[in-house]
Structure 1
Amino acid sequence: MDLLNRSFSHIYIEKEAKQYIESQKILKRFPNSKVIEIDSYKEIFSKNNQNFTLQKTTPKLILAVKKENYIYEGAKVCESFGNENFYYSSSVLNCVYDCEYCYLQGVYSSGNVVIFVNLEDMFQEIERILKERSMYICISYDTDLMALEEITGFVKRWYDFVKKHGNLKIELRTKSSSIKVFSDLEPNPNFIVAWTISPKEFAKQFEKRAVPFEKRVESAKILIEAGWTVRICFDPMIKVEDFYNVYGEMIDETFKEIDGTKILDVSIGTFRISKEYMKRMKKNRVNSLILNYPFHCQEGVYTYSEAENQEMLDFVKEKILNYVDLEKIFI
């Protein structure tokens, strides 16, 4: 007998969130879920002594109203791709996937998913800033919005928002293959869809519930051929056994399907995580092969040694140069 409840069997909703149309739409998608009213999402999401790993097996949904910090300045460890005024936003906290190396398990004590239903307030804050300067916003760092599109509809709403503002550019990063939302939309060069690509066997073993390598590549190919602006991300790269053969084969297979001349660019990077996050991550996954690697700590960030990083990056860059021009590769 399975003692674990199915995903989203319980939905917690802030009293203030009940009035929002987004909340009602989401609740209608889960007619059999038990709905529990709360005062603040932090009552459930931010409690101490939660079992992140266990919660990820059957996460609960929390609907909330975001009161502050609608956008954040882009982190130094993240690539801005040459864009000025780099930001990221969090309309959803946590991801439906369960990647062993994901930094979110170091950020949050809970494996549950929070959806902020007042996306319009975020848009208003962005519009205020857009009056003064252009913006480049990554909208899917703390979750995978594409994987949640059938629940939230946020990807479509961001698309409509970008369409109104010529000085706004966004990146939607994903490991999903759910591209149905794009079928009736006109490609917009300011709406970048970025796929994180991982080696086949690695994805199967360490990226639980994320779609396989083949489906990610296939979905990226479909959007590229339809005229969308697509970025390919080999980031973070993990030093697995037989790294050079594994990642070399992944790159060859990726560009066997995808025309490297038609993509926006390629992002490559090795695994890196803050010292604080790593401590929590190891606590959640005591037996993780990835997290127990003998990393080096440089300025508060755990990563491979300088020599290891350089060798990995040089190898992957040289492989990619067989398919993509140098100016399109970001490290």
Structure 2
Amino acid sequence: MKSKKKLYKNTFSHIYIEEKAFNYKSTNEILKKFKQSKIIRINNYKEIFSLKNQSFNKQKLSQNLILAVKNENLIYKGSDYCQNFDNENFYYTNSIYNCLFDCKYCYLQGMYDSANIVMFVNLEDYFKKLDEITKDKKIYLSISYDTDLMSFENIYPFVDKWIKYVQDNDKIKIEIRTKSINIKNLINIIPNNRIIIGWTLSPEEIIKKYEKKTPNLQNRLNAIKTLQTKGYDIRISIDPILKVDNFEEIYKNFIKQVSENLDLNKISDISLGVFRMPKDFLKKIRKFSDSDIIYYPYINEKNEKTYDKKDKEEMIKKIQHYLFLCNFKNKIYIR
């Protein structure tokens, strides 16, 4: 954990803060972690975050932090790009823009002009909005599609607060998707069946080449085992599946390693999806990325860049076959 805190402090050398964000206790709690950072007051986070002609690549090398108050669009209806896992009332939310990790296939590179982190400090307003939405219905809510929320837990305990909120609102089920191993806060919380942790797993070869700054596979598996023993519902997401050299050997060994470390039939479900990205995002990323995964000759399918149908079907079938060989019997979702 010490190395991670050092990384955060080196990264957030400058912190931009909206004037109205100074009124929140969470702002003060965050600033205590960064006593050496330069504080710059601003009126609106978009003054910094939404500037044109920013270099996402260069900013990623030394990200700054922006603390802001979000006044609208706190909760969204679920996107077609996301899986709803058979839940009728599917919503998602984002209390942070951008991510500490640096995955070369990530759509955030094309979604935002800036690589800096925006953290919205008014989490209580999100909860009030959800209280309104859930007056007459139950909902399924993903809280970490546009960032890896758990990786920020040392900076501010967003996940901890979300779980405690859900414990008091029995009309909400949340999914926390992550690649992080930052589970210290979760160990001390009694879970319930309305909280599901969705770990994204990849072969170690993929992690080393395309998932910079993320924990290795074995450490992710160890974190999953720990939370399983505490009673958490765990989902595994193998997404994006990438068409790489030695695909069969790499993914077969990967599934074997996963099955040797986890009792797969204690996993709630597994979601599978191949690389896909809105075509406008990919076009934008190709202006600065040097990653081979970005320049693959994808086809266009409904304004989305992805592998052709034959390749997609073969890749998914291979992964399903490897899972069946490991006697996985629970639900498999395919995107």
Report the TM-score, using the length of structure 2 for normalisation.
Answer: 0.95
Confirm or deny: 8 A CA contact 1:105 1:284 kept in the other structure. no
Among 22, 28, 33, which residue is 2:32 paired with? 28
1:210 CA displacement = 0.7
Say which SS state the counterpart of residue 172 (structure 1) adopts.
strand
Letter in 2 for 1:140: S
The answer to whether structure 1 residue 221 and structure 2 residue 225 are counterparts is: yes
> 1:90-121 CA distances to partner (integer Å, 9 max, x unpaired)?
00000000110001011000010000000110
The answer to whether structure 1 residue 88 and structure 2 residue 92 are counterparts is: yes
Say which SS state the counterpart of residue 254 (structure 1) adopts.
helix
The answer to whether structure 1 residue 166 and structure 2 residue 175 are counterparts is: no
Number of the residue aligned with 1:11? 15
Number of the residue aligned with 1:289? 292
The answer to whether structure 1 residue 182 and structure 2 residue 186 are counterparts is: yes
Number of the residue aligned with 1:305? 308
Say which SS state the counterpart of residue 188 (structure 1) adopts.
coil
Residue pairs, 1:240-319, within 5 angstroms = 240-285=244-289, 287-319=290-322
Among 200, 204, 214, which residue is 2:204 paired with? 200
Say which SS state the counterpart of residue 152 (structure 1) adopts.
coil
Letter in 1 for 2:305: Y
2: distance between equivalents of 1:6 and 1:160? 31
Number of the residue aligned with 1:209? 213
The answer to whether structure 1 residue 39 and structure 2 residue 38 are counterparts is: no
Among 152, 156, 161, which residue is 1:157 paired with? 161
Say which SS state the counterpart of residue 311 (structure 2) adopts.
helix
Between the aligned residues of both structures, percent identity stands at 43
Say which SS state the counterpart of residue 278 (structure 1) adopts.
helix
> 1:127-171 CA distances to partner (integer Å, 9 max, x unpaired)?
101112111111001111110001111011001111011121000
Number of the residue aligned with 1:66? 70
Residue pairs, 1:99-114, within 5 angstroms = 99-114=103-118
Confirm or deny: 8 A CA contact 2:202 2:238 kept in the other structure. yes
Number of the residue aligned with 1:54? 58
Structure 1 runs, 4 residues or longer, greater than 3 Å off: 323-327
1:327 CA displacement = 4.5
> 1:8-67 CA distances to partner (integer Å, 9 max, x unpaired)?
010000001011001010011100100000000001101010010111111000000001
Say which SS state the counterpart of residue 302 (structure 1) adopts.
strand
1: distance between equivalents of 2:326 and 2:264? 5
Number of the residue aligned with 2:3? none
Structure 2 unmatched runs, 5+: 1-8
Structure 1 unmatched runs, 5+: none
2: distance between equivalents of 1:220 and 1:326? 19
Alpha-carbon RMSD across the aligned residues, in angstroms, is 1.1
Confirm or deny: 8 A CA contact 2:17 2:41 kept in the other structure. yes
1: distance between equivalents of 2:23 and 2:188? 30
2: distance between equivalents of 1:173 and 1:188? 17
Say which SS state the counterpart of residue 315 (structure 1) adopts.
helix
1:6 CA displacement = 2.6
What is the number of residues matched between the two proteins? 326
Confirm or deny: 8 A CA contact 2:274 2:312 kept in the other structure. yes
Among 323, 328, 331, which residue is 2:326 paired with? 323
Confirm or deny: 8 A CA contact 1:174 1:196 kept in the other structure. yes
Say which SS state the counterpart of residue 34 (structure 2) adopts.
coil
Confirm or deny: 8 A CA contact 2:17 2:42 kept in the other structure. yes
2: distance between equivalents of 1:325 and 1:133? 33
Say which SS state the counterpart of residue 150 (structure 1) adopts.
coil
Among 115, 130, 133, which residue is 1:129 paired with? 133
Confirm or deny: 8 A CA contact 2:265 2:329 kept in the other structure. no
Say which SS state the counterpart of residue 321 (structure 2) adopts.
helix
Letter in 2 for 1:289: D
Say which SS state the counterpart of residue 78 (structure 1) adopts.
coil
1:326 CA displacement = 4.6
1:251 CA displacement = 0.8
